[in-house]
Amino acid sequence: MRKKDLSLLILILVVGTVVALINPRFVMVGNLSNTANQVGLFGIFSIAEAFVIITGGIELSVGSVIALLGVLFIDLIVNRDVNWIAAAAIVVAGGLAIGVVHGLLVTKARIQPFVVTLCGLLIYRGAARYYTEDATAGFGFGASFPTLEWLAAGRTNVLGFPLPHSVVALIIVTVVAWVVLHRSVFGRYLYAVGKNEEAARYSGIRANRVVISAYIICGGLTAFSAILIAMYTRSISPAVHGSFYELYAIAAAVLGGCSLRGGEGSIIGVVLGTVLLQVLQNLVNLLGIPSSLNFAVMGTVILIGVLADQYLAQRSRRPMTGRGRPQTSVDAVPREQAKAE
């Protein structure tokens, strides 16, 4: 575990302890299980966001994609009588297609990722509202899919703790993403492109393919999240469903050590960042703080993360000599030049 990840874990434990002392309900089994479920749901699309951020990009359409694909999934299995496995495959394929389009627009059309995904945010939200005629999509009376509901939104008792299946899904995604990012050549390519795309090209890396792949992974994982969230909420109002989820994902990634400049970040850090955000949100709820302040807390967290990232980046750029001592103007003078003077 990296030092950043360890520091974040310690911070989570400290915040959790403080919350438990303020309100003992925090450590109740039911509350912990619900918090874990939120971590599972939000953690998957936060990992998706991290893949794009590591390449130096950004994905602002996560929430709108979750709304559109969630509406599509419910409509397929409820109104179109499509088998839920086939419906899930269609939805994931849709997420992958969105990733391809975003990747091509960024690499081939040379449009800034911010612009591409901001337009996507508006387009997909509008498409979701048009698809349902601005009506709420959900399960009708008597509609039941027991196997799907158990897999996506069920819980399994583990040593007396009702473990949400969303957490199991997050663990599987985390393990696979960790191997891809930290133990594969492709993962090293992602970091290289994010650190310096031109240098990566000169070293023989096909940077465009790497960037497109990152957006495809992001789209696929976001589609998977859309299915889990749709089954958890059981109804979707396309105008508000998934609103600001992209900010949660960016905040979790930044907290987890992902630099918005690209080239940095870890999967474990992103998961820990998601845990910290959900603990903070639980703290807001338990203390009776108005829910409208959730966004203020999230914005503050992102700002602190960016400031910390810039501070660490400035320190890393400062030349060091001896035992970590900053290089001074005297130290910078070569010996031969000093003798000549």
User: What would the pLDDT profile of 132-169 be if each residue is shown by its tens digit?
Assistant: 999 999 887 667 889 999 999 999 999 889 999 999 99
248/231 Cα distance (integer angstroms): 20
Q: Give the pair of three-digit tokens for residue 23.
A: 């309100």
DSSP for 312-341, written as a single string: HHHHHHS-EETTTEEP-TTTTS-HHHHHH-
260/312 Cα distance (integer angstroms): 13
| Amino acid making up residue 93 | A
CB–CB of 294/284 below 8 Å? yes
Which residues does the chain have with pLDDT short of 50? 320-341
Q: What is the pLDDT of residues 232-261, one digit of tens each?
A: 999 999 999 999 999 999 989 988 889 888
Strand ranges, E, within 140-255: 155-158, 161-164, 235-236
pLDDT for res 217: 97
162/285 Cα distance (integer angstroms): 21
CA of residue 90 relative to chain centroid, distance: 22
pLDDT for res 317: 66
193/200 Cα distance (integer angstroms): 6
Q: Give the pair of three-digit tokens for residue 34.
A: 């619900």
Q: Which architecture, in CATH terms, is 3-16+27-317?
A: Orthogonal Bundle (1.10)
pLDDT for res 332: 41
The SS3 of residue 290 is coil
pLDDT for res 282: 86
What's the predicted TM-score (pTM) here? Answer: 0.88
189/123 Cα distance (integer angstroms): 31
84/77 Cα distance (integer angstroms): 6
